[in-house]
């Protein structure tokens, strides 16, 4: 089960509980459930407050609703454990997913990302307001599987002050600066946006994407290509982060918070940069099924990095 599948599974559990009479008919079956990564110090991997929403409509204590749903959800394939904490939060541990499954999901989703296009920067509106609105729209379309991605990487009109910033640092860097912080915070601009080393998060994301492409080119020189398969323990962090991408897109769209995607791309880039050293054969080592599987995982990470940047309106290859 993917983290994104978990949201649909929770909705189905609520619906079945109502249909079976375990919850009163007046209990609202939500169209969408918010499931998010558990915060540090929390229980399990993922959590949802759905029992509070359902309990309010049903006139039942959230903890009682949560225990009822936990009993159902604990029997679902792909869910290793369900716990109820606090006044009614549902907490989940999912069964471990294979690299092959995660790579397959990325490949299935790859065609949904917008294609890179020349960026346009006129000068008569707020860059930040448009950047957030456009990013959320693109993220929502990709998550929902829609193909109406008409604006591509086009950037909205910007005010004179914003135009000066764009002229100084470039559209991609300025978009990164405004989208990396929550709406209630003021973005900052400065020389750090021009840094081209691993102290810069934007550089690391672009560099990791470039490394994925380089691994594919170099593997071709060795005479092999990517093929999904099992990877060892050294790839599990990358598998986990890559597997969370659909859930991150859902949360970013639901909360209108593209900064969640920004943080995810940085985490994914760092995981790929750590993983890259074991992808290609060393010395007299011959290419094996393990190398092909690692290459497929690196390729999938590169796909998500490029696609994620495109959703933010940023070209993955700019300045590299």
Q: What is the pLDDT of residues 41-98, one digit of tens each?
A: 778 889 999 999 999 888 999 999 999 999 999 999 889 999 999 999 999 998 888 9
Q: Are strands 89-94 and 79-85 parallel, antiparallel or unpaired?
A: antiparallel
DSSP per-residue string spanning 45-84 = SEEE-HHHHHHHHHTS-HHHHHHHHHHHHTTSTTEEEEEE
Average pLDDT over the chain reads: 87
Task: Report the interhelical angle of 289-312 vs 171-179 (nearest 10°).
Answer: 90
Mean pLDDT of the 216-225 span = 96
Mean pLDDT of the 162-170 span = 79
Q: Spell 108-143 as b/e; 16+ CB within 10 A means b.
A: ebeebbbebeebebeeeebbbebbbebbbbbbbbbb
SS3 string, 118-138, reads: CCCCCCCCCHHHHHHHHHHHH
pLDDT confidence tier of residue 4, bands split at 50, 70 and 90: confident
What's the pLDDT score for residue 104?
94
Task: Kindly report the pTM of this predicted structure.
Answer: 0.81
79 contacts 95 by C-beta, under 8 angstroms: yes
What's the pLDDT score for residue 186?
87
Please provide the distance, in angstroms rounded to a whole number, between the alpha carbons at the two ends of the chain. 36
What's the pLDDT score for residue 156?
43
pLDDT confidence tier of residue 155, bands split at 50, 70 and 90: very low
Please give the torsion angle defined by the CA atoms of residues 155, 157, 160 and 166, in that order, rounded to the nearest 10 degrees. Answer: 10
Q: Are strands 46-48 and 36-37 parallel, antiparallel or unpaired?
A: antiparallel
Distance between CA atoms of residues 293 and 227, nearest Å: 5
What's the pLDDT score for residue 166?
82
Whether residue 123 is predicted with pLDDT greater than 60 in this model: the reply is: no
pLDDT confidence tier of residue 247, bands split at 50, 70 and 90: confident
Encoded tokens for 109? 């989703």
Q: Spell 30-51 as b/e; 16+ CB within 10 A means b.
A: beebbbbbbeeeebbbbbbbbb
DSSP reduced 3-state for 93? strand
Encoded tokens for 33? 């459930």
The stretches of the chain forming alpha helices (DSSP H) are 3-19, 50-58, 62-73, 99-109, 127-144, 160-169, 171-179, 201-222, 236-243, 245-254, 259-275, 289-312
Mean pLDDT of the 251-259 span = 91
pLDDT confidence tier of residue 39, bands split at 50, 70 and 90: confident
Mean pLDDT of the 132-137 span = 90
Sheet with 79-85, side-by-side order of all strands: 36-37, 46-48, 89-94, 79-85
List the single range of 98-107, 116-125, 178-187 with lowest mean pLDDT.
116-125
CA 60 to chain centre: 34
């Amino acid at each position: 089960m993917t983290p994104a599948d978990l949201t649909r599974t929770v909705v189905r559990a609520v619906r079945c509980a109502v249909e079976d009479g375990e919850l009163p008919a007046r209990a609202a079956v939500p169209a969408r459930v918010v499931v998010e990564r558990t915060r540090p110090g929390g229980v399990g991997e993922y959590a949802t407050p759905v029992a509070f929403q359902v309990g309010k409509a049903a006139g039942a204590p959230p903890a009682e609703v949560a225990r009822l749903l936990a009993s159902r959800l604990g029997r679902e394939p792909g869910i290793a454990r369900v716990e109820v904490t606090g006044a009614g939060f549902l907490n989940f541990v999912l069964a471990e997913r294979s690299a092959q499954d995660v790579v397959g999901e990325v490949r299935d989703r790859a065609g949904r990302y917008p294609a890179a296009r020349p960026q346009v920067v006129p000068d008569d509106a707020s860059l930040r307001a448009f950047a957030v609105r456009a990013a959320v729209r693109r993220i929502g379309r990709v998550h929902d599987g829609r193909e109406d991605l008409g604006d591509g990487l086009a950037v909205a009109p910007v005010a004179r002050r914003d135009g000066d910033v764009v002229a100084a640092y470039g559209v991609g860097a300025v978009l990164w600066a405004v989208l990396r912080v929550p709406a209630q915070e003021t973005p900052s601009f400065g020389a750090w946006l021009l840094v081209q080393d691993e102290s810069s998060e934007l550089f690391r994301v672009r560099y990791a994407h470039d490394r994925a492409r380089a691994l594919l080119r170099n593997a071709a020189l060795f005479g092999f290509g990517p093929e999904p398969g099992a990877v060892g323990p050294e790839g599990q962090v990358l598998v986990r982060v890559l597997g969370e991408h659909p859930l991150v897109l859902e949360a970013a769209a639901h909360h209108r918070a593209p900064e969640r995607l920004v943080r995810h791309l940085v985490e994914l880039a760092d995981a790929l940069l750590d993983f890259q050293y074991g992808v290609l054969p060393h010395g007299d080592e011959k290419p094996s099924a393990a190398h092909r599987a690692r290459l497929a995982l690196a390729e999938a990470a590169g796909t998500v990095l490029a696609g994620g940047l495109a959703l933010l309106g940023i070209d993955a290859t700019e300045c590299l």
